[in-house]
Structure 1
């Protein structure tokens, strides 16, 4: 139960299988949520896996008290770490007994999320679940035939419904993701609540001058993972180099991951080493600069539940070309702020990029303005307002009225 008055600070436990220094959309969302809740005066705790070997530990970070659990390296992934179910169950049950949270907000249904939901159910703590993950995201890391992966996916969907359904409310970033959860996990009434974006952070400041190169830049930001399909984007740039050399298109890739060596090989095979810059992980300031100097932002991924990086690029008034897959279409008004392309089709992607770059400067600026306007619909402040209301006992009908 929520204690004291509406204005009293809450003790919130965020249960996350991934949290910074991990670099991915779910980790970023959890960090931003924790930061915003802390700024509102709440006592925020996060439970997550340790990012290196070692026993359980506690980090006192600016945004939260972070309880790190002993973890083990996933042998099929270069940085993802797993907490055993039995250790997660013991550690999180003890943590709930110690901090006595008003609400548990689970960000997943795997090891840490499942243990947190089960412990909260036993202790009658209000529980909210948010899904950032598609079971298909596991495919590249399962060294099994496809028929085995399909079984794992079906079981994962089933477990999602069984575990997340225990809480008072289930959310996910988009209506398309909510529909998928209804169809595959049997979770009905899932509320689509945007991850939220602070658009002002990426806007051009008055009098600010962007240092642009002397050629058009297409930008990708994200993990270099199989499902991101960055190879398709590299091949699209190579195709443009052959059929539209007049455009002189260059590609910047921000991020890192297990596909880096493969992408470097494809870049070399396509002969576009001089057109592709792989920048790796960059600072927040460097990322903002990359968004502002880009002429087009591209997300070719096919398993996006929202795509925070696309929203960040749109906040910087950048036209977008996104794959027509999962939740990406809700970010595109075709011919207004950008275009979609059939997933995996590098020729079609090249053609959509050329459409944007061929626009007169004023029309391209109008695309960028439309992107910014669309990003403004995903206010980070409203997202935190909604979750705070849920923590305090808002009903689904009350939440829908806020959306």
Structure 2
């Protein structure tokens, strides 16, 4: 089967959608599918390359000024480029990851050519609104969802990572069924460090040149919707009782601001900014930690949280959107109310000061992560592709 994946964000862009599209493409190729991806060029000019068994068709791009971790494909000419690409590749199915410049052009080209469309939604306006004036939020949110409806109504089958995310789409008035399909996680990959040393935590800290201290980890973009200021303010409360450290892996628009905040809170020496961490080094980041924190309020699933759980870590997360889907309070971690810095500090301190609690919660996280095995995700998408390409309409589970 030949699949064309359309996505406006793809590595080295930093986003959950980007990482999912990359792992989906490589995973499907490893299972024997003929996989093509159309995405933004990582350098600017248009290129066609094959990487990890995946044919990448990278379109001319420019930096996105409001979001330096993402590149943008200008709309002029894109519809023509996608029509020609679809005619040349002749996929059995198109799988779009979004409804922006590339996604909408790819859907239009597929519909025009009679090619079935699978559409996955990773979008919610909350990812965009922090970069706009508050008075525009309601109007932009309404327009963004209307645009989503206009493009995704052409899909033969729709998915999104969680039931919460599917319900969110339904509340916008979208009347089509949306199936929850987890982004998935490679369970074996994130347990690898445990076999690398007698004490994997100490090994990982040495590998990352971190002090051997109780460690809170965050992996993701250092952007407004992640609410990392709350984590730094919480750390100031924690260090009054426990000599702990915070490790932030990722880059984003708020790094300089977060560094200034850490200085103002008196915890700069306890906050380690790792910057961008290559995919192959991510297991070491999780292995170095005692607890994973995700204070973001715009997560439709959170791949990083899944990876932390697959690494056997307790999770402390904001009680927002889909994060409660991954945290069972008191079992594998705790939820806190966004903005409640004291509450966040309290539950982090509780985990950091109790090795028994940490180990028990980590074991539950690992068990919960097993339900999100990447192989299940890949198998389900293969079933969906087979159904829609055979003209059977929306693919029934199982």
TM-score of the aligned structures, taking structure 1 as reference length: 0.92
Question: In the TM superposition, what are the counterparts of 1:268-347 in structure 2 within 5 Å?
Answer: 268-347=263-342
**Aligned match for 2:358, one of 359, 364, 370:** 364
CA gap of 1:253–1:92, structure 2 versus 1, over 3 A, is: same
Alpha-carbon distance, 1:147 to partner: 2.7
Which residue of 1 is the match for residue 379 of structure 2?
Answer: 385
Which residue of 2 is the match for residue 47 of structure 1?
Answer: 38
Counterpart check, 1:208 vs 2:197: yes
Count of matched residue pairs: 385
Q: Could you give the per-residue CA deviations for residues 188-228 of structure 1, whole angstroms, max 9, x where no partner exists? A: 31000000011111115447331425421000100111101
Alpha-carbon distance, 1:120 to partner: 0.7
CA gap of 1:138–1:363, structure 2 versus 1, over 3 A, is: closer
Range moving further from structure 2, 159-168 or 328-337: 159-168
**Aligned match for 2:160, one of 163, 169, 172:** 172
Unpaired stretches in structure 1, ≥5 consecutive residues: 1-9
CA gap of 1:16–1:101, structure 2 versus 1, over 3 A, is: same
Range moving further from structure 2, 71-80 or 90-99: 71-80
**Aligned match for 1:240, one of 209, 229, 238:** 238
Counterpart check, 1:193 vs 2:186: no
CA contact (8 A) 1:158 1:185 kept: no
CA contact (8 A) 1:161 1:187 kept: no
Alpha-carbon distance, 1:37 to partner: 1.2
Unpaired stretches in structure 2, ≥5 consecutive residues: 203-210
CA contact (8 A) 2:312 2:365 kept: yes
Aligned-CA RMSD value: 1.7
CA contact (8 A) 1:304 1:328 kept: yes
Which residue of 2 is the match for residue 5 of structure 1?
Answer: none
Alpha-carbon distance, 1:282 to partner: 1.8
Q: Could you give the per-residue CA deviations for residues 219-247 of structure 1, whole angstroms, max 9, x where no partner exists? A: 010011110111110110012223x2xx2
Task: Classify the secondary structure of the residue corresponding to 2:4.
Answer: strand
Range moving further from structure 2, 83-92 or 377-386: 83-92
Counterpart check, 1:69 vs 2:67: no
Counterpart check, 1:130 vs 2:123: no
Distance in 2, Cα, partners of 1:319 & 1:34: 29
CA gap of 1:224–1:207, structure 2 versus 1, over 3 A, is: closer
Which residue of 2 is the match for residue 60 of structure 1?
Answer: 50
CA contact (8 A) 1:51 1:71 kept: yes
Distance in 2, Cα, partners of 1:51 & 1:151: 32
Range moving further from structure 2, 220-229 or 387-396: 387-396
CA gap of 1:148–1:207, structure 2 versus 1, over 3 A, is: closer
Task: Classify the secondary structure of the residue corresponding to 1:376.
Answer: helix
Task: Classify the secondary structure of the residue corresponding to 2:371.
Answer: coil
Q: Could you give the per-residue CA deviations for residues 42-92 of structure 1, whole angstroms, max 9, x where no partner exists? A: 1111001112332x2212212311111112332222242222333221111
Alpha-carbon distance, 1:398 to partner: 5.4
Distance in 1, Cα, partners of 2:312 & 2:238: 24
TM-score of the aligned structures, taking structure 2 as reference length: 0.93
Which residue of 2 is the match for residue 3 of structure 1?
Answer: none
CA contact (8 A) 1:157 1:185 kept: no
Alpha-carbon distance, 1:30 to partner: 0.8
Distance in 2, Cα, partners of 1:288 & 1:390: 31
Range moving further from structure 2, 327-336 or 153-162: 153-162
Distance in 1, Cα, partners of 2:111 & 2:228: 41
Distance in 1, Cα, partners of 2:52 & 2:239: 47
CA gap of 1:211–1:336, structure 2 versus 1, over 3 A, is: closer
CA contact (8 A) 2:157 2:394 kept: no
Task: Classify the secondary structure of the residue corresponding to 1:86.
Answer: coil
Distance in 2, Cα, partners of 1:95 & 1:397: 25
Task: Classify the secondary structure of the residue corresponding to 2:172.
Answer: helix
Range moving further from structure 2, 209-218 or 154-163: 209-218
Alpha-carbon distance, 1:358 to partner: 3.1
Which residue of 2 is the match for residue 111 of structure 1?
Answer: 101
Counterpart check, 1:256 vs 2:246: no
CA contact (8 A) 2:225 2:298 kept: yes
Distance in 1, Cα, partners of 2:305 & 2:260: 26
